[in-house]
Amino acid sequence: MLRSLNSGVSGIQQFQGQMDVIGNNISNVNTTAYKSSRVEFADAFSQTLRTSAAGSGSTSATTSLQVGTGVMTTAIENSFNQGSITRTGLPTDLAVSGQGFFTVRDAVNGATYATRAGDFRIDSNGYIVTNAGLRVQGFSDSALSARGDIQINATGAPSTAAPGATVASYSFDQQGRVNVRLSDGTEFIRGQILLQNFTDPQALVKEGNNLYSGLAAAGALANPDVPGTLGLGRVEAGALELSNVDLANEFATLITTQRAFQACSRIITTSDEMLQELVNLKR
């Protein structure tokens, strides 16, 4: 009976954790490029009452007797399935259609993160940054050779451009190239956004603000590469990737988790009643 009490307690603990994950998924249903999570369970250590033994010519094999001690959580996995892409019309909104992550850098401490959220903006210095001010990484020069922070300005303009010409407009193509048009009508490529892929994205660590760390542990390639090559997706300008949370599935899982929690509570209640009956045998 004590084993059943422990099993019931372990079930309550693990299903409470699953409820936390479901609640987080539902609360992020409108978060840009959010990736939903799911809980994976496994049976806990079993107490062996009798070990198994092989049979012989005169005896049959003996089976083992084991009693489980409950359930445990083995993993909380992220689903990196593609979310729906919606048009916004803002030139700095970018979505990845397919595999790959944007890489951004904190200019203060130099830390690099991965993100699927492309709700970028242009700061006062012309850098393409996230809402938190992290700078988007890629080819930072017009020759597409130097890697670093991507900046939109007239640097690298062809010699035919008028002296003092300023940036009139800019756009992004599906390969992440930043096309700049100057006030005199000159057009040139200022830089290019690159994408990073991972061999084991489950090893990425959520840092909040739609950022992931642990790039090396996730098996990052040596360097980010050009969108649309090496299995990477394309960059869709003027669009954002939505959350991939399936509300119908989340609510269905919510119901089954609630019932499982209630069942585990019932195990504890019934075990307690049996212990009470045992104590009352003395009367």
Q: Does residue 37 sit in the same domain as residue 97?
A: no
Q: Using CB atoms within 10 A of its CB, is residue 265 exposed (0-12), middle (13-18) or buried (19+)?
A: middle
pLDDT reported for residue 62: 83
Q: Does residue 118 sit in the same domain as residue 202?
A: yes
Q: Does residue 268 sit in the same domain as residue 195?
A: no
**SS3 call for 100:** coil
Q: Does residue 119 sit in the same domain as residue 63?
A: no
State the Cα–Cα distance between residues 230 and 197, nearest whole angstrom.
9
pLDDT reported for residue 67: 87
pLDDT reported for residue 239: 97
Look up residue 81 and give its two tokens: 């399935």
Q: Does residue 158 sit in the same domain as residue 263?
A: no
Q: Does residue 41 sit in the same domain as residue 98?
A: no
Q: Does residue 257 sit in the same domain as residue 136?
A: no
Q: Does residue 168 sit in the same domain as residue 92?
A: yes
Q: Does residue 113 sit in the same domain as residue 145?
A: yes
Q: Does residue 133 sit in the same domain as residue 225?
A: yes
pLDDT along the chain (283 residues), means of 10: 84 95 97 96 87 80 86 94 95 96 95 96 96 96 95 93 92 96 94 96 95 94 89 96 96 96 93 86 71
Q: Does residue 226 sit in the same domain as residue 90?
A: yes
Note down the domain range covering 143: 85-241
Q: Does residue 12 sit in the same domain as residue 148?
A: no
| Domain count within the chain | 2
